[in-house]
Chain A
């Protein structure tokens, strides 16, 4: 996905001299084409995230569309106050991009896991939070992000994510993207983990359960209408995110459901409120923390049993 991100960004930068890419000394093997093609729109700030965020804000206030790029939690946690006070409060046109979110950097360990970012970033007023699920969404998200005037947090995947969508998609900020239709339960994912939700839907189909799958590629502003419709039409919603179970996608969806008074059975699947202290590759960690399609499917069945209406589901 990061490759798709960089390819799309470069295309835009080549025709728009206002685009400026700042690096926190990360991006080896990915950023070279940009650096070579647009050297005047590129700067490696060095290992200094606070300075990177501040410089981005200064450049943006002078008319540039600035992308700051790093990995995992690096471009948000160290410089969170710069993002809040400088970038967001001033409405600076800065795009904060991180690659390898969730547990993607698996065996690198806890320092490289990005599992609290959605909760933190969506609490910042006036910022948009994007989490594309596959390369097609990633490209659409880059185009939408660069056309949007204002701060955006872009939670990029890592590499070799499977395609979620068969055909073309219409990526719009604030609009959920349908993946699969269904009437018995809705699985809402954000980011590459959505592919595992789709796998769960396929398993459920074997038992005659039709699961709707939605990619919530914009976590903020969230697509309330897609959530309310899914609740009304399926009566059961499960959210799946590679993030602490507190405050992320699940929290955002729960807020909508609670405030609209919809009588929907609900469960949020995320990383339990703990640091990952075991060592393992990305896929292994995901299975270990309950993200296997089998596990998601079992949880979905439990949620369906809690549905208060209608009762036409085989279970």
Chain B
């Protein structure tokens, strides 16, 4: 595999995800743009290099299961799935519109979406159930669950974390889009999650921290799964909320504020993805 060429394809996809997310947020004045942009690189690497999925057969039994637990950032996943051919990119224009194809939070009614979320803390227990089912019959596919900071504040996530380690579910992979900004504040002012790696490790997971915008680091981490045999894997990806939309990067405002027309144009130009 030519690594250089390899990573240019995921970088290109990441730019497209950001472009779609910006346009979708702008079109309906929708919130959560910062949450979409912070995980754009993670999604791009997953859907270019890691996940075994088939756009022509969304329910392929051997597919890797991917659950987006931070369902509020769902537009970014819709963008990836459209770009990968699960459904027409024209659907993206119906995001949050009357009788539209795509809701604000992720829904399994959309081809390629494994599971509906929107309230935090739901993804990991379901992913654990799916991983357990795969182990029951020794199936080879993996189960991925991408979470946000908020997911790590919910008790249900930690219930599932305990269970997964106890049952040695090494076909289960957690990824945290660790942007450290919530709806109302910075983590240090709301609920500090540090030491996050140590916390997951203490719960029995094998943990690796990466730069969540560095495609090579992300790809390497997710290409060496499980991180450790007989343990579930956790990749803590440090990200910047709103990454790629300079005016909102790392700010609390990035959670709700859609871009203005000028901001949209500037961001699209910088990304090189066109209007």
Tally A-B pairs: CB < 8 A. 82
Q: Say yes or no for B55: interface residue by CB 8 A criterion.
A: no
Q: Say yes or no for A85: interface residue by CB 8 A criterion.
A: yes
Within 19-58 of A, Cβ neighbours of B (below 8 Å) are at 40, 43, 45-46, 48, 50-51, 53-58
Cα(A81)–Cα(B156), bound, Å: 11
Nearest chain A CB to B177 CB, angstrom units: 20
Within 53-92 of A, Cβ neighbours of B (below 8 Å) are at 53-64, 81-82, 85-86, 89-90
Contact of A51 among B117, B118, B128 (CB under 8 A): B128
Is B132 a contact of A58 with CB atoms below 8 Å? yes
Is A51 a contact of B119 with CB atoms below 8 Å? no
Is B156 a contact of A62 with CB atoms below 8 Å? no
Is B126 a contact of A58 with CB atoms below 8 Å? yes
User: Number of A residues contacting the other chain (C-beta, 8 Å)?
Assistant: 25
Chain A interface main SS type = helix
Q: Say yes or no for B108: interface residue by CB 8 A criterion.
A: yes
Contact of A64 among B115, B117, B131, B133 (CB under 8 A): B133
With A46-B162, A58-B125, A90-B108 known to touch, is A51 a contact of B136 (CB < 8 Å)? no
Cα(A85)–Cα(B105), bound, Å: 12
Q: Collect the chain B residues with CB atoms within 8 Å of residue A89's CB.
A: 116
Cα(A43)–Cα(B160), bound, Å: 14
Is B116 a contact of A58 with CB atoms below 8 Å? no
Q: Collect the chain A residues with CB atoms within 8 Å of residue B201's CB.
A: none
Q: Say yes or no for B130: interface residue by CB 8 A criterion.
A: yes
With A85-B122, A86-B122, A90-B108 known to touch, is A59 a contact of B129 (CB < 8 Å)? yes
Contact of A54 among B116, B160, B162 (CB under 8 A): B160
**Chain A minimum-CB-distance residue to B128:** A55
**Chain B minimum-CB-distance residue to A64:** B133
Q: Collect the chain B residues with CB atoms within 8 Å of residue A40's CB.
A: 136
**Can you name 26 A-B residue pairings with CB atoms under 8 Å?**
A43-B132, A46-B162, A48-B163, A50-B159, A51-B156, A51-B159, A53-B125, A54-B128, A54-B129, A54-B156, A54-B160, A55-B129, A55-B160, A56-B129, A58-B127, A58-B129, A58-B130, A58-B131, A59-B129, A59-B132, A59-B133, A62-B129, A64-B133, A81-B122, A82-B156, A86-B125
